Chain A
Amino acid sequence: MGSELHEIIKLIDLFGIYFVVVPYLANRFGHYFRIKKIYNHKKIIKVSVPPKYKKKYDNIELNKINNKTFKEVALEFSKVLIEHFPEEALTNFYNNLNELTIKNNKLIVLIGAGGCYAPLNNSITISDFDAIYHELFHMASRLYSKVDGVSYVGFKQRSTKLSKITYNGIGTGLNEGYTEVLTYRYFKSKTYSSYEFETDIARKLETIIGTDKMTELYLKGDLSGLINELKKYMPEDEIIKFITRIDLINAYEIKHKSIIVRESIFDIYEFLLKVNALKLKKQYDEGLIDISTFKNLSNDYLKTFEDRVYVSLNEYELKNIKEMYEIILKDINAPGYIENHSNSK
């Protein structure tokens, strides 16, 4: 049905009359949008949209950005953030925006970067234009304390008193992953293939924390807030281990040592599956969901974990994810688990 329908769509589109958008999930949900390019109303003389779409951008000056193209992109970025995020989450963004500088420098490609953001200087350097939105999100989530010498950028935290060569901070991997999630979500920019794994993990974590909460914590540069959210379900040492495992995978020199990467992936997956199961169990214990919903949500989350994982284009096969999950359900006394397994004895 899919390919036949796409052929029909191509023919209709040639006439520019209307185009039936058939998303790949359409057969499951059976809902279609029919885009109508022909406007069948008379000339419009007045338009009224809800207030949130009419926000003024008076506070945006961008005086330190001289390049016209960069200025336009920064302005576009600003408008999207103001439209989509609550004001209380944008304090860092407003503090950094008008002092931001953006430069072009092809040489940074030599260190494998399409772009980079320097939190101490609040400056972006770009070699690949597609990287700019990613770097702007770093700017929007940056908080730098000169007093204690700590820089917070999204979920990354680093003491500036320590050498960058030996210590890149905690939360780097998760931060890069979630920055990619937001960059793609709001700007449809291509994602860096070297952050594919981190992006997938960040999405899985967002499912647990919730989109609004996770975005708020990210923009506030609040790693400790994220840790506190996870402490509802897991002890702090397990959470720190989870975060540093992602950092390990993110570190360039580790990407080619497969045993360490494989074990880290396993630990990360185990953590996420356990936290999600505990969250659902809590909801069940509080009467918010029934056992059927617990099982459905539980299985839906498990299905997002592939047994073939790609880290920096290297493939890793994880064979025992389902078995691992069974053990987790047993350990946490998941609803329905003990009953089913007692009956099977």
Chain B
Amino acid sequence: MEEEKLKLIDEDGNELEYRILSMFIYNNKNYIVYTDDTYEADNLNTYASIFDPDDDTVWEELTTDEEWDIVKKILVELEDK
């Protein structure tokens, strides 16, 4: 299966590319879980953010424990697969 890529452009014009692990919707917000494929002590660095499919300038951080709990559950399920 072709890997899905997330591309971000920062305020300096740098293009950053990540591999998408998962995406989910919660409380009408779209969350994306992704990695830069780097490792720390054999652990894959994983990130999660909020985006808006209708506005490509929206990029927000997760702020609640609830949101992070869902991310964790998704990663556990990915492991189970």
Q: Kindly list chain B residues whose C-beta atoms are within 8 Å of the C-beta of A23.
A: 75-76, 79-80
Q: Kindly list chain A residues whose C-beta atoms are within 8 Å of the C-beta of B32.
A: 49, 53
User: How does the 8 Å CB contact mask read for A115-128 relative to B, with 1 for contact and 0 for none?
Assistant: 00000000000000
Task: Pick from A29, A37, A42, A83: contact of B23, CB below 8 A.
Answer: A83
Q: Kindly list chain A residues whose C-beta atoms are within 8 Å of the C-beta of B5.
A: 50
Instruction: Quote the shortest CB–CB distance from A179 to chain B (angstroms).
Output: 19
User: How does the 8 Å CB contact mask read for B31-62 relative to A, with 1 for contact and 0 for none?
Assistant: 01001000010111111110101101111011
Contact B75 A45, beta carbon cutoff 8 Å: no
The complex places the Cα of A175 from the Cα of B27 at a distance, in Å, of 28
Q: Kindly list chain A residues whose C-beta atoms are within 8 Å of the C-beta of B43.
A: 20, 32-34
Task: Pick from A29, A48, A50, A80: contact of B25, CB below 8 A.
Answer: A80
Task: Pick from A31, A44, A79: contact of B10, CB below 8 A.
Answer: A44
Q: Does A341 contact B (CB under 8 A)?
A: no
Contact A36 B10, beta carbon cutoff 8 Å: no
Contact B57 A46, beta carbon cutoff 8 Å: yes
Task: Pick from B9, B25, B61: contact of A46, CB below 8 A.
Answer: B9
The complex places the Cα of A71 from the Cα of B59 at a distance, in Å, of 26
Task: Pick from A29, A39, A50, A54: contact of B47, CB below 8 A.
Answer: A39
Total B residues in contact with A, Cβ cutoff 8 Å: 49
Q: Kindly list chain A residues whose C-beta atoms are within 8 Å of the C-beta of B80.
A: 23, 25
Closest chain A residue to B29, Cβ basis: A76
Contact A31 B44, beta carbon cutoff 8 Å: yes
Task: Pick from B30, B46, B72: contact of A53, CB below 8 A.
Answer: B30
Contact A43 B10, beta carbon cutoff 8 Å: yes
Q: Kindly list chain B residues whose C-beta atoms are within 8 Å of the C-beta of A79.
A: 25
Contact A37 B57, beta carbon cutoff 8 Å: no
The complex places the Cα of A24 from the Cα of B72 at a distance, in Å, of 12
Contact B72 A49, beta carbon cutoff 8 Å: no
Instruction: Quote the shortest CB–CB distance from B81 to chain A (angstroms).
Output: 10
Task: Pick from A34, A45, A80, A83: contact of B57, CB below 8 A.
Answer: A45
Contact B9 A45, beta carbon cutoff 8 Å: yes
User: How does the 8 Å CB contact mask read for A66-79 relative to B, with 1 for contact and 0 for none?
Assistant: 00000010011001
A-B contact pairs, 22 of them (CB 8 A): A19-B72, A21-B72, A25-B79, A30-B42, A34-B40, A35-B68, A37-B62, A37-B68, A45-B9, A45-B10, A46-B9, A46-B56, A47-B58, A48-B8, A50-B4, A50-B5, A50-B20, A53-B32, A54-B53, A55-B53, A76-B27, A83-B23
Query: What would 6 more interface pairs be, CB under 8 Å, given A19-B68, A83-B25?
Result: A23-B76, A34-B45, A39-B49, A44-B11, A49-B32, A49-B51
Could you list which residues of chain A lie within 8 angstroms of chain B, going by C-beta atoms?
Answer: 19-21, 23-26, 29-37, 39, 41-50, 53-56, 72, 75-76, 79-80, 83, 188
